[in-house]
Structure 1
Amino acid sequence: MPFQVPTVSASEVPEDAAVLDVREEDEWVYGHIDGATHIPMGEVPARLDEVPEADLLYIACRSGGRSARVAAWLNANGFDAVNVGDGMGGWEAAGRPMVSETGRPPFVR
């Protein structure tokens, strides 16, 4: 039986949660969770020292696919990680707060 990655919806992520956003830079700049750590998926293994230390780490991408793979990898490497299954698209749809690096209102790209 394949390993199941713990998953929650964006609306279930606590306000004070440690969040790792694994989207690419061009996605991140348009809209992300204030206070989230940004490390693109392909860079996570090389940048493990930048992964937030937390009792429970929430992993987000656009729709939940990349973040599920990263959460599984982190869990296999000693972290307690949870996938945000509906990703930043779900975050935006739930009306959760976001910030942008563009000087314009944030949105999920």
Structure 2
Amino acid sequence: MTHEPGESVTAGEAISLVASGDLWLLDVREDFEWSSGHAPGAHHIPLGELGLRQGELPDDVTIAVICHVGQRSRMVTNALVDADYAAVDVAGGMVAWQASGGDVVGAEAGQMR
């Protein structure tokens, strides 16, 4: 299952591909959203810090960008593709991730924001 940079993947696809190591999951939500529940193994760089922390992004694996429902992740995915990263958007964000059976960890994982 390969995706072109800039495409969207379903939450179900992302769950499988992250588990297999084929995607590097980047959560761009704010700190309070992250602490309310996030995918295990996700890498957290809030949208506002992404420019300063760009050096933390891998260039040897496709980055799957996720947020709460998909608006911010779509914007970040487009920016990463424009910067020559292989990136895809997780459609529906963490809401879809959880609805698709993806694990969620965090202090308040049952009340994700």
TM-score by length of 1: 0.87
Runs of 4+ in 1 over 3 A off after TM superposition: 104-107
Taking only the aligned residue pairs, the percentage that are identical comes to: 37
Q: Is the helix fraction higher in 1 or 2?
A: 2
Structure 1: unaligned runs, 5 residues or longer: none
Residue type at the aligned position of 1:46: L
Going from structure 1 to structure 2, the CA distance change for 1:107 and 1:95 (only over 3 Å counts) comes to farther
Residue type at the aligned position of 1:75: V
Structure 2: unaligned runs, 5 residues or longer: none
User: Which of 51-60 and 13-22 deviates more?
Assistant: 51-60
The residue number in structure 2 matching 1:28 is 34
Please give the root-mean-square deviation of Cα atoms over the aligned residues, in Å: 1.7
Residue type at the aligned position of 2:38: H
Given that 1:37 and 1:52 are in contact with CA atoms closer than 8 Å, whether structure 2 keeps it comes out as no
Q: Work out the CA distance in 1 between the residues paired with 2:38 and 2:60.
A: 19
> Where do residues 8-87 of structure 1 align in structure 2 (5 Å cutoff)?
8-13=9-14, 14=17, 15=19, 16=21, 17-87=23-93
Going from structure 1 to structure 2, the CA distance change for 1:105 and 1:74 (only over 3 Å counts) comes to closer
Number of residue pairs matched by the alignment: 104
TM-score by length of 2: 0.84
Q: Work out the CA distance in 1 between the residues paired with 2:59 and 2:40.
A: 17
Task: Tell me how far 1:43 sits from its aligned partner.
Answer: 1.1
Q: Work out the CA distance in 2 between the residues paired with 1:86 and 1:54.
A: 25
